Amino acid sequence: MEKGNGIFILYAFAAVLAMTGVGIAVGERSFLGAVISLIALTAVFGMGFKTKKKHRELAELKNAEQ
């Protein structure tokens, strides 16, 4: 694993927690909890994809300079 990929493990862990929150909220019949967990899940996925794009662009920039 590369040094810069540690953040992706944190994003994955946060996404799993948000998915677990959805399951718990559904089990507790909490509509508000499910909505909040889905919003958190969407935010985590968005941040993860944004970070991945940034890393990919930096790698392409490095390759172009060589």
pTM of the model: 0.82
Which residues are CB-neighbours of 51 under 8 A, at least 6 positions away? 7, 8, 11
| 11: helix, strand or coil | helix
Token pair recorded at residue 50: 């944004």
| Segment 1-46, tens digit of pLDDT | 566 688 999 999 999 999 999 999 999 999 999 999 999 999 999 9
